[in-house]
A and B are shown apart, each in its own frame.
Chain A
Amino acid sequence: MSANVISKTVRGFSGALGRTLVSENSAHAKGLLQALDPRVKLVGLLALVVTAALARKLPVMAALFGLGVVLALGSRLSLWSLAKRVWLVAFAFTAMIAAPALFLTPGETVYTLGGLAITAQGMRSAMLLVARVEAAVTLSTLLVLTTPWMHLLKALRTLMVPVEVIAMLAMTHRYVVLLTETANAMFESRQSRMVGRLNGHEQRRLMVNTGGVLMSKTLEMGNEVFLAMQARGFRGEVRLLTDFRLRGWDYVAMSGFAAAVVAATMAGR
């Protein structure tokens, strides 16, 4: 992997994070999930994520994934963007983890690839894992994309999540964009002083060194951001200009989430 590719990847990642985490455009759009009280959305979608994680039947996972797609459409999220940024990435990572199960799970051989037998049971296990991850990731992504970050933190706090955890999440969100910008600057700075190509060993050594420096900068930056927040009175409690208030639509949504969780749990056993 060349330094140029790494730099472009870091730059792309930085830009995507900036758009996703900071502008929060989709969280302020007018849509189905955006209209809900963040507490209802948090509890409802997390319950569906847990249900997907515990389900053992493929149709149930497919149904939960389908529900996620419907909610995404209702919330005016771009399916193309979800496919590129979420589904494909989740599929690639999960497929890598699930691939060995195709060959290692004992059972009836359905295909032979290069002398290795792919079993029906192995295929089922791999598909279950991929489907479970896709469904859970889709539902989690919906929560993040349709809720302003500070609202999400406040919702977590109202659910008795400790102040320390909220403070850590708040800081992570604050400096992650800054950190990727720093990583990009480090790669560009290195490129500007390099002539020719490095061999594999040198590239790996540079990557490890850069990772170490970045880690140190992360810790320092995290500390600085937290001090800046403390300096303006932050003590772990999330405060917003708007108070959460349950409305009629929230009760309807609560019922809907509860019905989906019960149905999926019953069918998924």
Chain B
Amino acid sequence: MKESGVPESLTSEAVKPAVLEFEADAVRYEYERVAALQGLTLRVRAGERITLLGANGSGKSTLLRLMDGLHFACAGALRFRGEALTEEAMEDDGFAMSFRRRVGMVFQNPDIQLFNPTVFDEVAFGPLQLGWPREEILERVHATLEWIGAEHLKDRAPYRLSGGEKKRVAIASVIVLDPDVLLLDEPTAALDPRSQSQVIELLESWNNGQKTIITATHQLEILGEISGRAVVLEHGAVVADATPAEVLANTELLEAANLIHSHRHLHGGVPHKHPSPYLRHEHHKH
């Protein structure tokens, strides 16, 4: 049993391909002396689609930022393909360029991520930074914009796009680099249902599902669609690591991790209380 009372069966990893992408060993990270990650240990293998589940403040976004080499562990070790992700390593131009080419991150707030004058410039920004040849950049940017259905938006200012369009352009601006690993921070947060499903379809269709995708979210309804493995975080540590179906079936775990709530309601005139991820009782059956 792990510290949250999760059975050992739930901590077995669902997929075990050979190549290790990320290895986190007892990683600790603090924001102004407040621990965001504490003793976090995790293995991510090539081709896995993992969801990091957890309530607000559980450490999901922080872990993604460490994995993207934007923040660095205060203690413990985080490695990408065997190379330690440290500040010193990222200061090395050769390593940093190679890492940025292989690992891409889509931020939660697209307004932060979209900072170029036009959609075309936005998608071209990453390839330009990595020094790709001009012709290749033009070809890839056009192909990527076509793939997300945004070719007609290429001359628009990103800040004028709708929420769903911004998110798709943010994803395109990273996917244009064709990274081996894609980190997504709340990719469907604050999107309407249609935009949510468009984003999920994009991720499903990307490279026929062959890439490693790590998604941080607290939206349980998209869990099965975007991942084959679910890692539950609580107070900056892994409390469960299992298949989405196993995690979704463990209401005790989900309630302890603040991913579902207990509510009281009437059914056939009989009041009763049970945990549910749904806000209204007509959304579930007994």
Q: Measuring CB to CB, which residues of chain A are less than 8 angstroms from any residue of chain B? A: 18, 22-24, 148-150, 174-175, 177-178, 221, 224-225, 227-235, 239-241
Q: Are B115 and A225 in contact (CB under 8 A)?
A: yes
- Shortest A258–chain B CB gap in Å is 32
Within 8 Å by CB of A231, from B68, B97, B128, B137, lies B68
Query: What 10 new A-B contacts, CB under 8 Å, besides A150-B121, A175-B115, A177-B159?
Result: A24-B117, A178-B111, A227-B65, A228-B112, A228-B115, A231-B107, A232-B100, A233-B129, A233-B130, A234-B129
Closest residue of chain B to A242 (Cβ to Cβ) is: B134
Within 8 Å by CB of B115, from A18, A24, A229, lies A229
- Shortest A238–chain B CB gap in Å is 9
Residues of B within 8 A of A232 (CB): 100, 104, 125-126, 129, 173-174, 177
CA gap between A234 and B117 in the complex, in Å:
16
Q: Mark B208-229, 1 if CB is under 8 A from A, else 0.
A: 0000000000000000000000
CA gap between A148 and B101 in the complex, in Å:
27
4 interchain residue pairs of minimum CB distance? A233-B129, A174-B115, A232-B126, A233-B100
Residues of B within 8 A of A23 (CB): 117, 157
- Pick 18 A–B contacts, CB within 8 A, sort by A: A22-B159, A177-B159, A178-B159, A221-B112, A224-B109, A224-B112, A225-B115, A228-B113, A231-B70, A231-B100, A231-B104, A232-B104, A232-B173, A233-B97, A235-B129, A240-B128, A241-B124, A241-B134
Q: Are B93 and A228 in contact (CB under 8 A)?
A: no
Within 8 Å by CB of A241, from B100, B137, B173, B177, lies B137
Q: Measuring CB to CB, which residues of chain B are less than 8 angstroms from any residue of chain A? A: 65, 68, 70, 93, 96-97, 100-101, 104-105, 107, 109, 111-113, 115, 117, 121, 124-126, 128-131, 134, 137-138, 157, 159, 173-174, 177
Residues of A within 8 A of B105 (CB): 231
Closest residue of chain A to B158 (Cβ to Cβ) is: A22
Residues of B within 8 A of A227 (CB): 65, 70, 107
B interface secondary structure, majority = helix
Q: Are B128 and A22 in contact (CB under 8 A)?
A: no
**Given known contacts A233-B130, A234-B129, A239-B128, A22 and B157 CB-to-CB distance under 8 angstroms:** yes
- Shortest B230–chain A CB gap in Å is 24
Closest residue of chain B to A177 (Cβ to Cβ) is: B159
- Shortest A212–chain B CB gap in Å is 18
CA gap between A178 and B110 in the complex, in Å:
11
Interface centre among B109, B112, B177 (most CB of A within 10 A): B112
Residues of A within 8 A of B173 (CB): 232
Residues of B within 8 A of A150 (CB): 117, 121
Q: Are B70 and A241 in contact (CB under 8 A)?
A: no
Interface centre among B107, B129, B130 (most CB of A within 10 A): B129
CA gap between A149 and B125 in the complex, in Å:
14
- Shortest B99–chain A CB gap in Å is 9
Residues of A within 8 A of B134 (CB): 241
- Shortest A104–chain B CB gap in Å is 46
Residues of A within 8 A of B177 (CB): 232
Residues of A within 8 A of B159 (CB): 18, 22, 177-178
Q: Are B138 and A235 in contact (CB under 8 A)?
A: no
Residues of A within 8 A of B129 (CB): 232-235, 239
CA gap between A148 and B130 in the complex, in Å:
21
Residues of B within 8 A of A148 (CB): 117
Interface centre among A221, A225, A227, A232 (most CB of B within 10 A): A232
Residues of B within 8 A of A175 (CB): 115
Q: Are A230 and B117 in contact (CB under 8 A)?
A: no
Q: Are B112 and A235 in contact (CB under 8 A)?
A: no
